[in-house]
């Protein structure tokens, strides 16, 4: 088997982070999305994660919506019938991830690590393994919310 290639993603490029329904903050009265909970950018300690899974947006061709649709299609293929239209995708600029990390004394790396069944697969590494830096994680979640879309909205774009 050929060795996988790992490469750092250019600071001008973007990654998409799938956001499960439970990580999306909603207004109690209107049910409108008002933010993302920090858990969206937290490692799953019970699974002993050492990095966050993301997808390199620019790996896919086309407009932003076409790229998002390609990422969502990969996730749907990997988890048939399990993606709620009330879940979403957040887009983060790679350079911004690094800047936020530096603000909190962390060297965060965004690496392109494709798989055969997920050709845009990438990872964010350098986060505290115990999620102890709540300010870092909260800042990443706030940044993720700046460019966030529900799957229902992504699907609605022709």
Judge whether residue 122 has pLDDT over 80.
Answer: yes
The domain total for the chain is 1
pLDDT single digits (tens) 50-92: 999 999 999 999 999 999 999 999 999 988 778 888 999 999 9
Judge whether residue 1 has pLDDT over 90.
Answer: no
**According to the model, what pLDDT value does residue 81 have?**
77
Residues in CB range of 64: below 8 A, 6 or more apart: 57, 91
Distances (CA, A) of 116 to 33, 67, 120, 129: 34, 18, 9, 27
* Position 116 in a domain: yes
**According to the model, what pLDDT value does residue 75 have?**
93
* Position 1 in a domain: no
* Position 96 in a domain: yes
* Position 144 in a domain: yes
Are the beta carbons of 131 and 42 closer than 8 angstroms? yes
* Position 99 in a domain: yes
Are the beta carbons of 111 and 125 closer than 8 angstroms? yes
Average pLDDT, the chain: 93
For the beta carbon of residue 35, count every other beta carbon within 10 angstroms: 16
Q: Tokens at residue 51, please? A: 């990095």
* Position 14 in a domain: yes
Q: Tokens at residue 113, please? A: 């690590």
Q: Containing domain of residue 50, as a range? A: 7-156
* Position 126 in a domain: yes
Distances (CA, A) of 18 to 23, 28, 70, 94, 106: 10, 23, 13, 16, 23
Note the pTM of the prediction, 2 decimals.
0.91
* Position 101 in a domain: yes
């Amino acid at each position: 088997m050929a060795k996988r290639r790992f490469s750092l993603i250019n600071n001008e490029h973007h990654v998409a982070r799938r956001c499960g329904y439970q990580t999306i903050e909603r207004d109690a009265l209107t049910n409108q999305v008002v933010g993302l909970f920090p858990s969206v950018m937290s490692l799953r300690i019970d699974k002993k994660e050492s990095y966050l899974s993301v997808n390199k947006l620019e790996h896919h061709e086309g407009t932003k919506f076409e790229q998002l649709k390609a990422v969502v299609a990969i996730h749907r293929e990997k988890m048939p019938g399990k993606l709620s239209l009330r879940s979403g995708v957040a887009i983060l600029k790679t350079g911004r991830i690094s800047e936020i990390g530096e603000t909190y004394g962390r060297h965060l790396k965004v690496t392109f690590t494709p798989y055969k069944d997920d050709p845009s697969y990438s990872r964010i590494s350098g986060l505290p393994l115990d999620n102890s830096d709540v300010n870092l994680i909260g800042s990443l979640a706030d940044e993720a919310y700046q460019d966030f879309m529900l799957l229902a909205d992504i699907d609605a774009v022709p």
